[in-house]
Amino acid sequence: MRVYPCLIKALILISITCILPGCSEVAPWQRGNLAKPNMALDPNPNLTHIRDHIFTSREAAQGSRVSSGGGCGCN
Protein backbone atom coordinates (compact mmCIF):
# COMPACT_ATOMS: atom_id res chain seq x y z
CA MET A 1 0.00 0.00 0.00
CA ARG A 2 1.45 3.32 -1.08
CA VAL A 3 0.91 6.38 1.11
CA TYR A 4 0.59 9.60 -0.79
CA PRO A 5 2.29 12.60 0.88
CA CYS A 6 -0.28 15.03 -0.52
CA LEU A 7 -3.07 12.94 1.03
CA ILE A 8 -1.39 13.04 4.42
CA LYS A 9 -0.91 16.82 4.16
CA ALA A 10 -4.56 17.24 3.18
CA LEU A 11 -5.73 15.16 6.16
CA ILE A 12 -3.54 17.16 8.53
CA LEU A 13 -4.87 20.43 7.10
CA ILE A 14 -8.47 19.26 7.41
CA SER A 15 -7.96 18.11 11.00
CA ILE A 16 -6.34 21.41 11.97
CA THR A 17 -9.16 23.43 10.42
CA CYS A 18 -11.68 21.32 12.34
CA ILE A 19 -9.88 21.77 15.67
CA LEU A 20 -9.06 25.48 15.50
CA PRO A 21 -12.64 26.86 15.68
CA GLY A 22 -12.91 25.28 19.15
CA CYS A 23 -10.05 27.48 20.36
CA SER A 24 -11.48 30.93 20.84
CA GLU A 25 -11.24 33.63 23.45
CA VAL A 26 -14.16 34.26 25.73
CA ALA A 27 -15.04 37.88 26.35
CA PRO A 28 -15.30 38.97 30.00
CA TRP A 29 -19.04 39.62 29.73
CA GLN A 30 -19.59 36.08 28.38
CA ARG A 31 -17.82 34.32 31.24
CA GLY A 32 -20.85 34.74 33.49
CA ASN A 33 -22.93 32.67 31.08
CA LEU A 34 -20.34 29.90 31.05
CA ALA A 35 -20.19 29.82 34.85
CA LYS A 36 -23.91 29.04 35.26
CA PRO A 37 -24.69 25.67 36.85
CA ASN A 38 -26.68 24.46 33.85
CA MET A 39 -23.54 24.77 31.69
CA ALA A 40 -21.66 22.20 33.79
CA LEU A 41 -20.98 18.73 32.38
CA ASP A 42 -22.75 17.27 35.40
CA PRO A 43 -25.09 20.00 36.70
CA ASN A 44 -26.31 17.90 39.64
CA PRO A 45 -23.57 15.52 40.85
CA ASN A 46 -25.50 14.46 43.97
CA LEU A 47 -28.50 13.31 41.94
CA THR A 48 -26.21 11.47 39.53
CA HIS A 49 -24.54 9.66 42.42
CA ILE A 50 -27.90 8.62 43.90
CA ARG A 51 -29.17 7.40 40.51
CA ASP A 52 -25.97 5.41 39.98
CA HIS A 53 -26.36 3.83 43.40
CA ILE A 54 -29.97 2.86 42.72
CA PHE A 55 -29.07 1.48 39.29
CA THR A 56 -26.23 -0.65 40.63
CA SER A 57 -28.43 -1.96 43.44
CA ARG A 58 -31.14 -2.99 41.01
CA GLU A 59 -28.79 -4.46 38.43
CA ALA A 60 -26.79 -6.40 41.04
CA ALA A 61 -23.60 -5.04 39.54
CA GLN A 62 -21.06 -2.84 41.22
CA GLY A 63 -20.79 0.61 39.71
CA SER A 64 -22.16 1.64 36.36
CA ARG A 65 -19.24 4.04 35.90
CA VAL A 66 -16.69 2.17 38.01
CA SER A 67 -14.76 -0.65 36.43
CA SER A 68 -13.77 -2.40 39.67
CA GLY A 69 -15.82 -4.69 41.83
CA GLY A 70 -18.23 -7.52 41.22
CA GLY A 71 -21.88 -8.30 41.64
CA CYS A 72 -21.39 -9.40 45.24
CA GLY A 73 -21.03 -5.80 46.44
CA CYS A 74 -17.36 -6.06 47.36
CA ASN A 75 -14.78 -3.67 45.94
H-assigned helices in the chain: 5-19, 31-34, 45-59
Nearest to 42 by CA among 65, 22, 26, 61: 65
- Residue-averaged pLDDT of the chain: 76
**Could you tell me the pLDDT band of residue 5, with boundaries at 50, 70 and 90?**
confident
Tell me what percent of the residues of the chain surpass a pLDDT of 90.
3
Over residues 39-65, mean pLDDT: 75
In this prediction the pTM is 0.35
Q: What is the b/e burial string over 20-29, where b = at least 16 CB atoms within 10 angstroms of the residue's CB?
A: eeeeeeeeee
Contact (Cβ atoms closer than 8 angstroms) between residue 65 and residue 52:
yes
